[in-house]
Amino acid sequence: MTMVTIESGFPDVRHISNFVFLHKTRFVIMILSLLCMTVGQMNSLTFNFTVICMQDIVEDYHKDNRTDLHWMEDPSQKSFIFSGVAIGAVIGLIPLVPMLDQIGLRITFTLFGLISAASSLLFPLAVSIDFYAVFFVRILQGIGTSILYTVVAYIPGIWAPKNEMGTFLAVLSCGFQLSNIICMPVSGVLCESEYGWRPIYYIFGSLTVLVYVAFFFFYSDAPKNHFHVSPKELSMICAEKKPKQGKESVPYRAICSDKCVLATWLAMCGRNVAFYVLILYGPTYLREVLHFDVKGTGWAAALPFVSCAAVKFASGQLTDRLTMFSEKTKFITCTLISMIGLAVGFMIMSLTTSRTIAQISYTFAVTLSGITIMGTIKCLQLRCQQHVHFATAVIAFMACIWQFVVPLGRFVEHISYTLADHPPSLCLLSKSSSKLRELVKFVVGHYEAHLHVTFPKEECCEVEKSSKEKVQFEMILNRKGSYRRGKAHCHSIFTCVAEKTQGAVEDLLELFSKELITLRFNNCSKESDVFTVFNKFSLSNCEDICFNGSIPMHNGVFDLFQSCPNAKRLVISNPQSETDFTQFWPKLKGSRIETLDLMDIESFHHSSTREFKLPQSMKQLFFSPKQDVECRNSENVAKLLYSANWKRVYIHSETVLEAVNSGLYKPLKTVTEFCFSSKAFTVDYVISFLKKCERVNSFNWYGLHSCVAPIVIARLLTDVPRNIVFGGCVACKSGETVGNGGFMEVGNRVDVIQVTKLLEREEFRVQYGRTLSDAVLFERPFNTNSVSVMYIQKKDSVCGPNCIDIHEISEKAGLLLSAY
């Protein structure tokens, strides 16, 4: 042992080792402290990633046929799990400053690290218990991280020479980035391995124990007391530092009222908001929005933190070496670069639809997020000196607050869903006060609403079932901009007594009038006056109106259509057989309905024989009788065809088409497209109808088998003396039909001009005579060498292996095949 005499207020005698790490012991301390910070932060981050691969616990939970939600499926409980770290960090900050003053950083940091290690090792066990166990372990993880911000500022103030303080600060603060760089890829690899997510916690927990034990035995709270610090290194560390005169109480009031400190706290507050959004939801953003796989998410989440660590280290070196600039200039520059970079990154991520640009913006934001520390923490070190641990503890406290608040975004969204999922409760809230009403309108304003009202009926239709005593309301809500049929964000069903139906509808319309896009009424009585309430509202966004089970005839129906000026589609489904449609059509006067869907019609009865007029806005008619039931009075469909300027007509039944033909006594001058659906080969009915339609240029036959398509084409060309685009179905290899609605239009709707009777051509008859009916070529009059494919039967189709390949035919014939 070597005896060294020290002046300047230090002890006269020091015992040091002969091995002094080349006078670089301070850097060993720095690296060891960095490892401690890294593993401590990793323990709190692991759940942020493994949450995307923990579906096995949900599946195991429901194996016992449990109907309640697992906490992983409950947004509110899941948000509390995310926020558990913040709660634990706040708890850990309470004793932190007194512990540092009383027992020093060595023991305090080790205790907090061992708590973090225990939380990681116990996490898989907690998951197997219940939500509260997981929440408790997350709080322990938070306690372990509560000291990290303080360590970043505390150790450089003790161990770094003044001209290396920026470097120390940069390296130690890289622990926040290194934790992501290590945690994300390792978690991604293990999650997709046969071992799953649980070993991640055991590995990180064990590593934490090893690192913190090493820290405990090597670290010293003062360089002068360290066994491996040489006199040369000690004098370097202590240069330009005031010797500490015993223990001083922290001047809390002076620090909290200092303008420089307040500005620094404010800057870190803004940085922490952005940083924790990136930390907590970065993996979810990469997985759900940018669609990376689990392993790819791990690497994509880690790489930005590599660049962040590199930029932070470079900025630390610059702040130490650019002595020509004042400290104030360097602080402000670092802070501004970081804040502007974060703002720009978030702005681009929120606006772009490009995966590449979004990933670059995410990386850019993460990279610049770390530079803030180079300005703020270093400023606090120079301003607060030996009391910097209190100033950084305040920053840690504010970080905890934001770490707790940021996940509550999901919880607030869940509250929004919960409120919106109970329209009666919303109605009561909106009547309580004007402020609550504004809140309710704000919640409702994020949705598109679909309202279904089912009235009591002794014999309800097969789909909807309702109580005889009460009216049932079904409210379906979807987030605006993300509406997909069959998938609702909120689906609420409630009832009220029949006498209060009108009041209930009025209450709902007061809240959802601007959000309603669909209105459906089931089993509504003919003389129900519930529709009169609609004259008080304007449902400007309502697009679809549906009457199912019965058709109301009350004059209030007129008010309904007037209140929905932009409604484009009217659906009448499964009306009662005795319904007289003559009484209903006048209710549509003045509406802007474009599409009329008549579905499951058993009888199309009209008491008047006179023609009637429908709104001139009507362009599309769909008529489908009830399945396996012969539609009575279907000849009245002909009368309906003369009542408006229909452009497109769809008829789903050969018997209805036959009855329509019998009722047509003059040409249909506006119909340009006819769609027919029937598996029966009733080409005569089709040709008869097309002859009555003077302007039809498009005909689709859904359900037509491909084997008879050439016959239909030949009849079209022979009996209908004009150009028609024809579409039908194509049978695939498995024997099923494919495409839109189960069918696919053949030949991409090419023009049919004139059929070429290929069998009259010797070169085709010799080679393809037996199978030529399975392929049809159509010549275009403006170019005899140009042909358009109208119908192609593939070789591997259900019609057998001898079908002709149309490309082979055209090549043999020397014709130019023109596909459209």
DSSP 198-255: HHHHHHHHHHHHHHHHHHHHH--SSGGG-TT--HHHHHHHHTT-PPP-S-----HHHH
Residue 107's CB is within 10 A of a number of other CB atoms, namely 15
pLDDT higher for 306 or 116? 116
Mean pLDDT computed over 147-166: 82
For residue 691, is pLDDT > 50? yes
Percent of the chain with pLDDT over 70: 71
Residue 147's CB is within 10 A of a number of other CB atoms, namely 31
Please report the pLDDT score of residue 121 as a whole number.
Answer: 93
Mean pLDDT computed over 120-134: 90
Q: Which range scores top for mean pLDDT: 21-30, 156-165, 379-388, 680-689?
A: 21-30
Of 364, 371, 365, 392, whose CA–CA distance to 380 is shortest?
392
Position 754, amino acid = Q
Of 133, 167, 396, 162, whose CA–CA distance to 272 is shortest?
396
Angle at 97 between CA 91 and CA 100, to 5 degrees: 120
For residue 743, is pLDDT > 60? no
Please report the pLDDT score of residue 114 as a whole number.
Answer: 94
Span 19-243+251-412: which CATH code?
A: 1.20.1250.20
Residue 137's CB is within 10 A of a number of other CB atoms, namely 27
- Lowest-pLDDT range of 332-336, 457-461, 646-650: 457-461
pLDDT higher for 481 or 782? 481
> Which residue stretches of 352-407 are H helix?
355-369, 371-384, 388-405
Q: How confident is the model at residue 205 (pLDDT cuts 50, 70, 90)?
A: very high
Domain spans of the chain, in order of start: 19-243+251-412
For residue 793, is pLDDT > 60? no
E strand segments, 575-734:
595-601, 620-625, 648-651, 673-677, 698-702, 724-727
Please report the pLDDT score of residue 430 as a whole number.
Answer: 67
Q: How confident is the model at residue 744 (pLDDT cuts 50, 70, 90)?
A: very low
Mean pLDDT computed over 168-179: 81
Q: Which range scores top for mean pLDDT: 27-31, 234-238, 377-381?
A: 27-31
Give residue for tokens 């089931």: 522
Please report the pLDDT score of residue 185 as a whole number.
Answer: 80
Of 49, 59, 53, 73, whose CA–CA distance to 194 is shortest?
53
pLDDT higher for 406 or 625? 625
Q: How confident is the model at residue 794 (pLDDT cuts 50, 70, 90)?
A: very low
d(CA 740, CA 16): 84
3-state secondary structure of 456: coil
Mean pLDDT computed over 311-324: 75
Please report, in angstroms and rounded to a whole number, the separation of the first and last CA atoms in the chain: 94
Please report the pLDDT score of residue 138 as a whole number.
Answer: 92
- Lowest-pLDDT range of 117-121, 325-329, 349-353, 722-726: 722-726
Percent of the chain with pLDDT over 90: 10
Beta-bridged to residue 492, according to DSSP, are 475
Q: How confident is the model at residue 790 (pLDDT cuts 50, 70, 90)?
A: very low
pLDDT higher for 444 or 214? 214
For residue 684, is pLDDT > 60? yes
d(CA 635, CA 609): 11
Of 484, 530, 11, 43, whose CA–CA distance to 238 is shortest?
11
SS (H, E, C) 116-132: HHHHHHHHHHHHHHCHH
Please report the pLDDT score of residue 472 as a whole number.
Answer: 85
pLDDT higher for 284 or 163? 163
For residue 501, is pLDDT > 80? yes
Mean pLDDT computed over 150-168: 82
Please report the pLDDT score of residue 202 as a whole number.
Answer: 92
For residue 281, is pLDDT > 80? no
> pLDDT per residue over 189-199, tens digit each?
888 788 888 88
pLDDT higher for 687 or 754? 687
Q: What is the DSSP letter of 385?
A: G
3-state secondary structure of 448: strand
Please report the pLDDT score of residue 570 as a whole number.
Answer: 92
For residue 811, is pLDDT > 90? no
Give residue for tokens 């089970």: 549
pLDDT higher for 778 or 533? 533
> pLDDT per residue over 770-786, tens digit each?
443 333 433 333 333 33
3-state secondary structure of 722: coil
Mean pLDDT computed over 747-774: 41
Please report the pLDDT score of residue 789 as a whole number.
Answer: 35
Q: How confident is the model at residue 412 (pLDDT cuts 50, 70, 90)?
A: low
For residue 384, is pLDDT > 50? yes
Please report the pLDDT score of residue 179 as a whole number.
Answer: 84
> pLDDT per residue over 610-657, tens digit each?
777 888 899 999 998 887 788 888 888 988 898 899 999 999 888 899
| Residue 451 and residue 473 in contact, taking contact as beta carbons nearer than 8 Å | yes
Residues 6+ apart with CB under 8 A from 418: none
Q: DSSP assignment of 456-474, as one string?
A: --SS--SS----SSEEEEE
For residue 769, is pLDDT > 60? no
For residue 212, is pLDDT > 90? yes
Mean pLDDT computed over 165-193: 80
Q: How confident is the model at residue 416 (pLDDT cuts 50, 70, 90)?
A: low
Please report the pLDDT score of residue 708 as a whole number.
Answer: 64
- Lowest-pLDDT range of 290-294, 340-344, 759-763: 759-763
For residue 92, is pLDDT > 50? yes
> pLDDT per residue over 48-75, tens digit each?
778 878 878 877 877 776 667 777 777 6
For residue 504, is pLDDT > 90? no
Q: How confident is the model at residue 151 (pLDDT cuts 50, 70, 90)?
A: confident
> Which residue stretches of 24-70 are H helix?
25-50, 55-62
Position 689, amino acid = F
d(CA 335, CA 328): 11
Position 533, amino acid = V
Please report the pLDDT score of residue 215 as a whole number.
Answer: 93
Mean pLDDT computed over 340-365: 82
Q: How confident is the model at residue 739 (pLDDT cuts 50, 70, 90)?
A: very low
Angle at 190 between CA 185 and CA 193, to 5 degrees: 130
> Which residue stretches of 219-354 are H helix?
231-238, 252-257, 259-284, 294-321, 327-351
Q: How confident is the model at residue 117 (pLDDT cuts 50, 70, 90)?
A: very high
Please report the pLDDT score of residue 295 as a whole number.
Answer: 61
Please report the pLDDT score of residue 125 as a whole number.
Answer: 92
Q: How confident is the model at residue 737 (pLDDT cuts 50, 70, 90)?
A: very low
d(CA 451, CA 456): 16
Please report the pLDDT score of residue 560 as a whole number.
Answer: 86
Length of the chain: 820
d(CA 779, CA 789): 9
Of 138, 186, 407, whose CA–CA distance to 294 is shortest?
186
d(CA 352, CA 494): 40
